[in-house]
Amino acid sequence: MKKLFSVLLLAVLVLAAANTAFAARIGISMPTQSLQRWNQDGANMKERFEAVGYEVDLQFANNNVALQVSQVENMILNGADVLVISAIDGASLGGVLAVAKDEGIPVIAYDRLLMETDAVSYYATFDNYMVGTIQGKYLVEALDLDNRTDPVNIEITAGSPDDNNARFFYQGAIDQIMPYIEAGKVVVPSGQIEFEQVATLEWSSERAQARMDNLIAANYAGGQKLHAVLCSNDSTALGVTNSLLGAGFTKEEFPLITGQDCDIANTKNIIAGYQAMSVFKDTRTLAEQVVKMVQAIISGQEVEVNDTTTYDNGVFVVPTYLCEPVFADINNFEELLIESGYYTREQLGI
């Protein structure tokens, strides 16, 4: 009897050791640490993966494509079971992703679609067209475009041309604004409306600021009123705001500025009256969804998606899970950002 008990105990210990020995290894590749949101995304995912017992290799590529390729290669060599990748350039990782596919490693594209490859398994993001729609609708309502008779002047600042999401943001917004441009209720004095004219490489605040400096000098130096600047995200909005402040725009005459991500600096600008709104994409929600997707992959279960028609990466339509964005402004930022625990009052200086 004692011998049988010893054998059973040994078997239990062997099984426990085997289960302990296997901890899925997740490689997370983020594009940069220079934007607040990617730091938050990376940290949120790392925390949640580790909470369910996974090992995490989190790397930031500093907007350097070659570095991102090298980092993903190392993740593969180090035994990643699943890769979660937010690409700097969605079409630049085909070679290393082919290696991942050959090794049988599933790949989840995180908030930026991986283009021109069949080696991506799933895509997790927010509804990017809806992000732009929210921004455009906000301006339509805030400027009372349906009722006013006098035209308003706006300018447009879009995102990085190497980020597939940027075109969705732009299109969602421009589809809301274009009918009013065609009706003469909205005027773009610079004439720069097409995506290629308004795109901002790397979503750079500095580039957005320099371009806005030029637009002000060319179109508003004579005191013409600028009613709004449609900005696709907070880093470009920050550059535009800095340009307007540098040009002497006062709070009383400040144009409505849209944004996305609710970065701390931009939320402070909303509180101070220098930015009208920012689309809030709660990175905790997206991180939680990606953890669920990875858990399903590791356990061999069906991965939950809710869009199988929209996101064509040039090779196939990638199965996608879309989270829903909302917007924050002066009226609701406390509920969305503080009461939810996303920020503290101290972080926002209030």
pLDDT digits (tens, 9 = 90+) for 104-139: 999 999 999 999 999 999 999 999 999 999 999 999
User: What number is the average pLDDT over the span 188-198?
Assistant: 98
Per-residue model confidence (pLDDT) at position 37: 81
Residue 11 has pLDDT above 50, yes or no: no
CB 192 within 8 A of CB 208: no
CA 178, 183, 184, 187: dihedral to nearest 10 degrees? 0
Residue listed under structure tokens 């609708």: 137
Mean pLDDT of the chain: 92
Per-residue model confidence (pLDDT) at position 343: 94
Output the pTM of the full model: 0.81
The residue type found at 174 is I
Measured CA distances, 216 to 31, 155, 186, 250, 345 (Å): 31, 10, 17, 14, 34
Residue 112 and residue 85: Cα distance in Å, rounded? 8
Q: In the Cβ-directed half-sphere of 20, how many Cα atoms lie within 13 Å? A: 6
Residue 288 and residue 254: Cα distance in Å, rounded? 38
CB 193 within 8 A of CB 109: no
Domain residue spans of the chain: 12-120+282-324, 128-280
User: What number is the average pLDDT over the span 283-309?
Assistant: 94
| Per-residue pLDDT reduced to its tens digit, 156-167 | 999 999 888 999
DSSP 151-176: -EEEEEE---TT-HHHHHHHHHHHHH
The residue type found at 134 is I
Residue 2 has pLDDT above 50, yes or no: no
Closest CA relative to residue 45, chosen from 262, 281, 288, 305:
288
Region for residue 271 given its phi and psi (left: phi exceeds 0; alpha: psi -120 to 50; beta: otherwise): alpha
Per-residue model confidence (pLDDT) at position 10: 42
Per-residue model confidence (pLDDT) at position 22: 57
CATH (residue range 12-120+282-324): 3.40.50.2300
Residue 168 has pLDDT above 80, yes or no: yes
- CATH domain 128-280 topology: Rossmann fold (3.40.50)
Q: Which has the higher per-residue pLDDT, 70 or 12?
A: 70
Looking only at the bridges linking them, the beta strands covering 277-280 and 326-329 are antiparallel
| Per-residue pLDDT reduced to its tens digit, 20-38 | 335 899 999 999 988 878 9
Residue 223 pLDDT level (bands cut at 50, 70, 90): confident
